[in-house]
Amino acid sequence: MVGCSLLDMNREASKLSRYQEGRVRIKVRQPDGLDGWILLSAPVTGLYYCREGVLWGWPKYLVDECSFSPERTECRYEGSVRYSLDFTPGPVEDEAALKASGFECLGGGSTLTWHILPGGATLLRSEGGGNAVPPRELDWQAGMVEVYIRPEDPFSKLIPEGSKTPGIYAKRAGGGGGDGIRRKVCTVLGGEITVHV
């Protein structure tokens, strides 16, 4: 499975802590049998958040800008669109399953990253969720999402051109990390994928 999302983080907080971040990831089975996600790409608008992610092994890169609305989110890099999600609200085949997946949009759980250490690298697993104070859901809409990844990116072939898949637009406030507002558009594309590492 391929998961694609774009988040608008901390939009009600100060300008210093607000940023946008995209994620393209693939679902994997870990050696202990648990499912997790490996991040392939993470465009981000804040230099601090870019540097912080790279230090922990996330493939983040700084984009020129991201725009975010419920209908269209996009990241522009070197003057052109590199990544976008177009959301059309409406009924989906299995809205109950989509709703059960929550804000993570069928992609909750752990994220695996390669962390470089002196003498080698290790695979780290960071667990999603775990907030002592659950966030408040302010908005949740099901619909169809069309993903665009610029063809020059090697993982763009994971997304069939013009495909539309069930996804969500969601908006949450609070949680363990404070009272910031987080908005997200995301989708997950299924199918068999062979990845050579």
pLDDT band (50, 70, 90) for residue 197: very low
Q: How far apart are CA 146 and CA 88, in angstroms?
A: 9
Reported as a single tens digit per residue, the pLDDT across 30-75 is: 777 777 788 899 999 989 889 988 887 789 999 999 998 889 999 9
SS3 147: strand
Reported as a single tens digit per residue, the pLDDT across 124-177 is: 666 654 455 677 888 889 999 999 999 999 889 888 888 888 888 988 887 655
Per-residue confidence (pLDDT) for residue 128, from 0 to 100: 54
Percent of the chain with pLDDT over 90: 26
Q: How far apart are CA 18 and CA 182, in angstroms?
A: 10
14 token code pair: 């100060």
pLDDT band (50, 70, 90) for residue 13: low
Question: With 70 as the cut, is the pLDDT of residue 97 above it?
Answer: yes
Was domain 2-189 assigned CATH 2.102.10.10? no
Give the number of C-alpha atoms closer than 13 A to the C-alpha of residue 159, restricted to the C-beta side: 29
Domain parsing of the chain, residue ranges = 2-189
